């Protein structure tokens, strides 16, 4: 079973993303991190097939989480999706420059997220 | 059968949304309060507070957007734009802009209330649009005064690459101010990095601004994690190392500041140190109190729980208490059987131990529901601050007892009544400074808000030193409105009490401040819906004191169960003064009213059978009189029989009928049937006034 | 992976999905069929929380006659409406087949509906629903095919809605 990490400080948003992923076929194992710090703890211990992260979080932000993930050989090439309400075009550019594969701006539609996740996991998206 | 399990909780998503949004909004109000205070002191707003406000607005935008609440998402978006411009130094938070910001936050709060109540009001979209237009006009884009300073920084590229736009702005800003930029490296244990990291972060914020925290894997294997912290400070690397108790090797100076003695910058000599010092000290203070780490850490060992979950827990405890009752009864019967007395006694001992533990459990669950009144009091002082500005009255709000704890649900319900009372005090009760001076009072009025716990009640008083209430005028008004007969002879207290009567306002016009169509009658009914009492005391020219007495918790009450016909009712025991069987001559008719003579007093009588139109059974020949008392008001309630005293959990009655006169809720006494709980405050106040004829 | 786990997020998902142009269109509805005076009606199953046998109701004072009283569902106190009254039918005392359908409101509040009988769960495609033939003030929202004929799909909001006039 493929394993996905969701990093999102908003509980509502976190659980919603998890609910969307529940509908993805084949079924996924989903881990939830409620803060950047929680993600730091999980990433070195677990091989993830996909990471979904928010940018704006109170402890450390998403760009730092991405940088951390990418600096570890284990997650150097793991597909990575940023979900953010980001209004700054500049931060979007920076996220992609750090090696994120997709950038979804909230509010996004459930089918869009589901499709991107499926595509990234099946390798049909660069 | 198509029965769905009870686990299905509809509206969970909405509740989740509301609870998270309210939490965010509350944090914004606190931060906004801090900003307003700094702004009124003429100080620069703390960058990390602005950034936190930005993040909050950002989260609200995301949440509202996901819910398809377009107007709210748009509003949050505009708030976010305001804040983004401030935090990136593109615009200044002028008083006008801060006022718009505050208004937006309040509007968002109203929206959440409306959503909690079922949906946004029809005109809400227009209100938002109007506000957005004003924000747009105020927040017209200006050219970014980007600090020219950037230049080369000797920091790891990975660290610089992971900076957000905001962080980069702060970096430039600090460079422009001539601060040194350092990179502090800490290698920590993965399993326990948070405590040490927050220690370092807090220390860094005390001596400068923490710009960014970049994690990377440690060299010592998967158990380690390395953090690079980018910090701007007036201190040089050596002083910083000493302050942080770190090895100097852990600190690398990426760019030496202008005031750094070892600086290579040519401009350092031009700045006289004496002038720079106070600014540096002010900057350090600015960063110090706003440490985020403390809150972060407290979040990690706190669990957010829906109050409804606690209600469920409370119900279970209540049900356990009922089972325990059955056990006690069984032990008693066992003890009465010949030859089984010893077993009965043993069972009784077990029962008693269980009872003690159960009481502990009950106490713990109640304790979990308790929150300090501080939240509400803080809100009130924000309102007071604004009223002071709007009304031009000189007044201060003094707060005492903000630590007093009450059931969370009660605290929430208290916001509106207290808000109204405080607004009233500002608006009507306090005189203008000129009027006050004329009567020899200090120009500045005082409103004292105080909470104290007394036994199982919490007493909240709001006292002002204003003009006081003219009881005679209140009476005249009440007579004019037909609320009391012109012949009525009322005591001073009864006259004052008329301010709570529906449809009475001593000022005819509705004002901006205390308008909104909420009168003292609503205050009283809100408070009695919580099982409390509102009363007023006033002396002309001296001031007015409003007193709210509230039960500490709604969760468990002791109740007297009474019977009428085949029906049973529960009466909260705190309102029961005594129970008696009136003698034949104690009940007297006086016109249309029935009175009970009790130790020289004549109490109004209410027959529950008539009040609730109970048709079953026949009225008892010798009914019981339950003497109810709330504050000074008393009432004799006649019932057919008494069924004993019980601990009960009052539940709201769900369904289309929202409220029923005389009914506060219902309870299940453990036999799967619902028993209505009487609303004593409503019954007492609906009973005819027992005035001396 | 069960759809039930995420059902409570329907609201969110719907709000989000509404923005996407390419939404799945084939939607299945599950309806609970009940009867009143020999006529069959249906309610959307997602709003039905449970079905219980009627038991002694506690009467409430000062309420219209259509509120039969309240009952306790494991400590939760719920008003029960005489559904016949909603359809302008004469009230009858509960019989052996009578049931109380416990409905969840949109905001988590719960109401009981006393009906003459509860039958089966009907599965229909959203596309098979027909508009109602008569305007019932919104009480009937659609007609759903059932066997040879149709059943009226009742609006949970309207059947529960209380107008002060009774």
Q: What is the dihedral of CA B349, B353, B355, B361, to 10 degrees?
A: -170
A19 interaction partners in chain C (CB closer than 8 Å): 5-6, 9, 12-13
Is it the case that residue B275 has pLDDT exceeding 60? no
**Test the C interface: residue of A19, A26, A116 with most C CBs within 10 Å:** A19
Alpha carbon distance B29, B52 (integer Å): 12
pLDDT number for residue A1: 83
**CB-based contact (8 Å) between B226 and chain A?**
no
Alpha-carbon gap, residue C68 to C71, rounded angstroms:
10
Angstrom CA distances, B469 to A18, B418, B427, C21, stand at 59, 18, 13, 64
- Identity of the residue in B193, B212, B215 whose CB atom sits nearest the CB atom of A68: B215
Flag whether residue B305 sits within 8 Å of chain A, measured between CB atoms.
Answer: no
Angle at B272 between CA B39 and CA B152, to 5 degrees: 80
Who wins on pLDDT, B506 or B6?
Answer: B506
Residue C9: its pLDDT value, please?
A: 47
B221 touches chain A (CB under 8 A): no
- C100 vs chain B: nearest CA distance in angstroms? 11
Put simply, the chain C residues between 1 and 30 with a CB less than 8 A from any chain A CB are: 1, 3, 5-6, 9, 12-13, 15-17, 19-20, 22-24
Cα–Cα distance measured from residue B70 to residue B128, given in angstroms and rounded to the nearest whole number: 10
Q: Which residues, listed in sequence order, are joined to residue C19 by a DSSP beta bridge?
A: none
Q: Is B427 helix (H, G, I), strand (E, B) or coil?
A: helix
Per the CB < 8 A criterion, the answer to whether B19 and B306 are in contact is: yes
Alpha-carbon distance C43 to C34, whole Å?
8
pLDDT at C131 over 70: yes
Q: Percentage of chain B surpassing pLDDT 90?
A: 11
CA torsion through residues B638, B641, B644, B649, sign: negative
> Are C111 and B319 an interchain contact pair (Cβ–Cβ within 8 Å)?
no
Res C67: pLDDT: 93
Q: In 3-state terms, what secondary structure has residue A107?
A: coil
Q: A91 vs B164: CB contact, 8 Å cut-off? A: yes
Choose the mutation target among B73, B657, B661 for the interface with C, i.e. most C CBs under 10 Å. B657
Q: Comparing C129 with B268, which gets the higher pLDDT? A: C129
Beta pairing class for C39-44 and C149-154? parallel
Lowest pLDDT segment from A47-51, B220-224, B632-636, C35-39: B220-224
| Segments of B1-133 assigned E as strands | none
Q: CA of C11: which chain A residue's CA is closest?
A: A16
Give the whole-angstrom CA distance, residue A117 versus residue A104: 11
Confidence class of residue B304 from pLDDT cuts 50, 70 and 90? Answer: low
pLDDT of residue B152: 67
C-chain CB neighbours of A16 within 8 Å are 9, 12-13
Question: Which residue of chain A is at minimal alpha-carbon distance from C18?
Answer: A109
B448 pLDDT more than 70 = yes
Mean pLDDT of B256-281: 42
Q: Say whether B13 and C10 touch across the interface (CB within 8 A).
A: yes
Write a three-state SS string for B34-53: HHHHHHHCCCCCCHHHHHHH
**What's the rounded Cα separation, in Å, for the pair B368 and B644?**
29
Q: pLDDT higher for B687 or C41?
A: C41
Query: Which of C9, C16, C22 has its CB closest to that of A107?
Result: C16
H or E element, residue C110: strand C110-115
Least confident of A75-89, B230-244, B335-349, B498-512: B498-512
Give the Cβ contact number of residue C17 at 10 Å: 17
Residue B146 has pLDDT above 80, yes or no: no
Check pLDDT > 90 for residue C151.
Answer: yes
Query: Quick one: pLDDT at residue B605?
Result: 94
d(CA A110, CA A19): 9
The residue with tokens 């009712």 is B569
Confidence of residue B149 (pLDDT cuts 50, 70, 90): very low
Q: How far apart are CA B212 and CA B229, in angstroms?
A: 6
Specify the range with the lowest mean pLDDT, choosing from A87-101, B136-150, B471-485: B136-150
Least CB–CB distance from A64: residue in B65, B165, B214? B214
In whole angstroms, what is the distance from residue B468 CA to residue B539 CA? Answer: 5
Please give the residue of chain A at the shortest CA–CA distance from B201. A59
DSSP-assigned beta bridge partners for residue B569? B562, B676
Q: Name all chains with 3 or more CB-CB pairs below 8 Å to chain B.
A: A, C
Buried b / exposed e over B577-604, threshold 16 CB at 10 Å, is: eeeeebeeebbeeeeeebbbebeeebbb
Task: Answer for the pair A83, A118: CB distance below 8 angstroms, yes or no.
Answer: no
- What pLDDT is recorded for position B264? 40
Confidence of residue A41 (pLDDT cuts 50, 70, 90): confident
A23-37, B116-130, B294-308, B519-533: which has the highest mean pLDDT? A23-37
Q: What is the pLDDT of residue A87?
A: 57
pLDDT at B569: 96
Is residue A56 within 8 A of residue A13, CB to CB? The reply is no
Model confidence at B287, in pLDDT bands (50, 70, 90)? very low
Residue B459: closest CA among B374, B528, B549, B526:
B549
Q: State mean pLDDT over B633-655.
A: 86
User: How many other CB atoms are found less than 10 A from the CB of residue B48?
Assistant: 19
State yes or no: pLDDT of B42 exceeds 90.
no
Task: Choose between C84 and B481: higher pLDDT.
Answer: C84
Query: What is the structure's pLDDT at B462?
Result: 94
- Whether residue B61 lies within 8 A of chain A, CB to CB, comes out as yes
Considering only CA atoms, give the Rg of chain A.
13
The residues in B 69-108 lying below 8 A from A, measured between CB atoms, are 73, 77, 80-81, 84
Q: What is the DSSP letter of B3?
A: P
Contact yes or no for B260/B183 (Cβ under 8 A): no
Q: Is pLDDT above 70 for C64? A: yes
B39-48, B151-160, B356-365: least confidently modelled range: B151-160
Report yes or no: B160 and B237 within 8 Å, Cβ to Cβ: no
Band (B292; pLDDT cuts 50, 70, 90): very low
Kindly tell me if the per-residue pLDDT of A17 is higher than 70: yes
pLDDT in tens, B306-333: 767 777 787 777 667 767 767 777 888 8
Question: Which among A9, A72, A90 has the least Cβ separation from residue B165?
Answer: A90
B10 contacts on C by Cβ (under 8 Å): 8, 47, 49, 104-106, 108
pLDDT tens string B495-514: 888 888 877 764 443 343 33
3-state secondary structure of C17: helix
User: Cβ C6–A22 below 8 Å, yes or no?
Assistant: yes
- d(CA B453, CA B405) in angstroms, rounded, equals 8
**Range of A55-59, B408-412, C57-61 with top mean pLDDT:** C57-61
User: What local confidence, expressed as pLDDT, does residue B167 receive?
Assistant: 85
Q: What number is the ipTM of this complex?
A: 0.83
| Beta carbons of B84 and A66 less than 8 Å apart | no
| pLDDT at residue B626, rounded to an integer | 95
Both tokens of A125, joined, read: 């998206």
Distance CA B96, CA B135 (A): 10
Mean of pLDDT values over C22-44: 78
Residue C20 has its nearest CB partner, among A16, A27, A112, at A112
Most confidently modeled of B129-138, B237-246, C42-51?
C42-51
What mean pLDDT comes out for the span B523-537? 82
Q: What is the pLDDT of residue B4?
A: 33
Q: Which residue of A has its CA nearest to B213?
A: A60
CA distances from B386 to B96, B397, B652 (A): 13, 12, 36
CA distance B652 to B491: 37
**Which has the higher per-residue pLDDT, B669 or C80?**
C80
> Neighbours of A (≥3 Cβ pairs closer than 8 A)?
B, C
Minimum CA–CA partner of B216 in chain A: A68
- Give the global pTM: 0.43
Percent of chain B with pLDDT over 70: 83
How is residue B398 written in tokens?
């003094």
Q: CB–CB of B53/B28 below 8 Å?
A: yes
- CA–CA separation, B427 vs B431, rounded Å? 9
Task: Return the pLDDT at B561.
Answer: 94
Of the candidates A11, A99, A19, the residue with the CA atom closest to the CA atom of residue A62: A99
- Give the model confidence (pLDDT) of B568-585 as tens digits: 999 988 888 899 999 878
Q: Which residues of B668-687 are buried (b: 16+ CB within 10 A; e: fewer)?
A: bbbeebbbbbbbbbbbbbeb
pLDDT at C29 over 70: yes
Task: State the DSSP H helix or E strand holding residue B274, giving kind and residue range, or none if neither.
Answer: helix B273-287
Q: Which residues contact B236 (CB under 8 A, 6 or more apart)?
A: B180, B253, B256, B257, B260, B261, B262
pLDDT band at A53 (very low <50, low <70, confident <90, very high): very high
Q: Residue C116 pLDDT more than 90? A: yes
CB contact under 8 A, B672 and C72: yes
Tens-digit pLDDT profile for residues B57-72 = 988 988 888 777 888 8
Q: Predicted confidence band at B281 (pLDDT cuts at 50, 70, 90)?
A: very low
Q: Is the pLDDT of residue B274 over 60?
A: no
Residues 22-81 of C with CB under 8 A from A: 22-24
pLDDT higher than threshold 50 for residue A93: yes
Q: Is B9 in Cβ contact with C8 (below 8 Å)?
A: yes
């Amino acid at each position: 079973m493929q394993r996905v990490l969701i990093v999102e400080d908003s509980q509502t948003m976190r659980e919603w993303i998890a609910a969307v992923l529940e509908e993805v076929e084949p079924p996924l194992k989903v881990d939830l991190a409620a803060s950047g710090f929680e993600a730091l703890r999980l990433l070195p211990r677990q091989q993830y097939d996909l990471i979904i992260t928010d940018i704006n979080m109170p402890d450390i932000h998403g760009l730092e989480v991405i940088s951390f993930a990418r600096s570890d050989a284990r997650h150097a090439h793991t597909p990575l999706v940023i979900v953010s309400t980001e209004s700054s075009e500049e931060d979007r550019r920076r996220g992609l420059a750090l090696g994120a594969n997709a950038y979804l701006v909230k509010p996004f539609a459930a089918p869009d997220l589901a499709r991107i996740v499926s595509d990234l996991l099946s390798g049909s998206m660069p | 059968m198509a029965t769905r399990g009870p686990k299905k909780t509809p509206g969970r998503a909405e509740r989740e949304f509301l609870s998270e949004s309210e939490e965010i909004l509350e944090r914004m109000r606190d931060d906004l309060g801090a900003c307003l205070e700094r702004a009124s002191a003429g100080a620069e707003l703390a960058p990390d507070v602005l950034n936190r406000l930005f993040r909050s607005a950002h989260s609200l935008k995301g949440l509202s957007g996901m819910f398809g609440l377009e107007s709210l998402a748009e509003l949050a978006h505009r708030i976010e734009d305001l804040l983004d411009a401030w935090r990136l130094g593109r615009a200044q938070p002028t008083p006008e802009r801060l006022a718009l910001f505050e208004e937006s936050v309040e509007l968002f709060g109203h929206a959440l209330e409306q959503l909690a109540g079922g949906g946004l009001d029809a005109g809400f979209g227009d209100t938002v649009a109007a506000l957005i237009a004003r924000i747009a006009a105020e927040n017209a884009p200006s050219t970014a005064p980007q600090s020219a300073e950037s230049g080369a920084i000797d920091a790891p590229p990975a660290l610089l690459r992971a900076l957000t736009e905001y962080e980069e702005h702060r970096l430039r800003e600090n460079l422009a101010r001539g601060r040194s930029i350092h990179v502090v490296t800490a290698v920590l244990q993965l399993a326990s990095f948070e405590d040490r990291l927050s220690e370092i972060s807090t220390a860094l914020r005390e001596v400068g601004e923490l710009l960014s925290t970049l994690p990377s894997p440690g060299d010592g294997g998967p158990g380690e994690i390395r953090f690079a912290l980018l910090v701007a400070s007036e201190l040089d690397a050596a002083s910083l190392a000493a302050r942080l108790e770190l090895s100097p090797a852990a600190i690398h100076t990426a760019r030496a500041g202008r005031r750094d003695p070892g600086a290579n910058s040519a401009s350092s000599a031009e700045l006289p140190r004496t002038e720079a010092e106070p600014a540096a000290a002010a900057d350090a203070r600015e960063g110090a109190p706003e440490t985020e780490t403390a809150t972060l850490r407290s979040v990690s060992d706190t669990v957010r729980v829906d109050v409804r979950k606690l209600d469920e827990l409370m119900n279970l405890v209540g049900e356990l208490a009922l089972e325990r009752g059955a056990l006690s009864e069984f032990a008693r019967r066992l003890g009465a059987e010949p030859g089984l007395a010893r077993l009965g006694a043993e069972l009784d001992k077990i029962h008693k131990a269980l009872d003690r533990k159960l009481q502990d459990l009950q106490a713990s669950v109640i304790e979990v529901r308790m929150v300090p009144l501080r939240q509400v009091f803080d809100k009130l002082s924000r309102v007071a601050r604004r009223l002071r500005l709007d009304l031009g009255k000189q007044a201060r709000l003094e707060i005492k007892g903000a630590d007093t704890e009450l059931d969370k649900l009660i605290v929430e319900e208290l916001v509106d009544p207290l808000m109204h009372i405080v607004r009233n005090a500002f608006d009507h009760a306090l005189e203008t400074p000129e009027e006050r001076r004329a009567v020899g009072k200090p120009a500045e009025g005082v409103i004292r808000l105080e909470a104290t716990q007394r036994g199982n009640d919490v007493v909240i008083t709001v006292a002002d030193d204003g003009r006081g209430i003219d009881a005679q005028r209140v009476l005249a008004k009440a007579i004019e409105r037909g609320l009391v007969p012109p012949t009525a002879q009322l005591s001073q207290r009864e006259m004052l009490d008329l301010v709570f009567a529906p449809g009475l306002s001593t000022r005819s016009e509705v004002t901006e401040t205390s308008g909104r169509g909420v009168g003292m009658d609503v205050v009283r009914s809100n408070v009695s819906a919580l099982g409390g009492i509102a009363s007023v005391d006033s002396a002309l020219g001296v001031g007015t004191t409003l007193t709210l007495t509230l039960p500490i918790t709604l969760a468990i009450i002791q109740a007297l169960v009474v019977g009428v016909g085949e029906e049973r009712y529960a009466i909260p025991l705190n309102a029961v003064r005594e129970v008696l069987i009136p003698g034949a001559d104690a009940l007297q008719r006086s016109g249309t009213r029935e009175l009970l003579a009790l130790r020289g007093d004549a109490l109004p009588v209410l027959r529950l059978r008539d009040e609730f139109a109970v048709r079953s059974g026949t009225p008892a020949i010798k009914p019981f009189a339950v003497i109810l008392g709330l504050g000074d008001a008393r009432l004799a309630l006649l019932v057919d029989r008494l069924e004993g005293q019980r601990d009960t959990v009052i539940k709201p009655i769900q369904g289309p009928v929202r409220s029923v006169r005389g009914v506060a809720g219902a309870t299940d006494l453990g036999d799967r049937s619902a028993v209505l709980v009487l609303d004593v405050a409503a019954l007492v106040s609906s009973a005819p006034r027992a005035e001396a004829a | 992976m069960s759809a039930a786990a995420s059902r409570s997020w329907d609201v969110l998902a719907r709000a989000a999905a509404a923005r996407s142009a390419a939404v799945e269109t084939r939607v299945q509805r599950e309806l609970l069929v009940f009867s009143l005076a020999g006529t069959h009606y249906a309610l959307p199953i997602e709003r039905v929380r449970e079905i219980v046998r009627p038991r002694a109701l506690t009467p409430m004072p000062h309420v219209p006659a259509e509120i039969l009283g309240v009952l306790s569902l494991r400590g939760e106190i719920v008003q029960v409406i005489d559904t016949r009254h909603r359809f302008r039918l004469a009230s009858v005392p509960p019989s052996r087949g009578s049931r109380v359908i416990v409905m969840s409101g949109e905001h988590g509040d719960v109401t009981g509906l006393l009906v003459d009988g509860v039958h089966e769960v009907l599965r229909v495609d959203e596309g098979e629903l027909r508009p109602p033939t008569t305007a019932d003030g919104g009480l009937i929202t659609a007609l759903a095919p059932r066997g040879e004929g149709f059943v009226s799909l009742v609006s949970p909001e309207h059947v529960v809605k209380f107008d002060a006039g009774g």
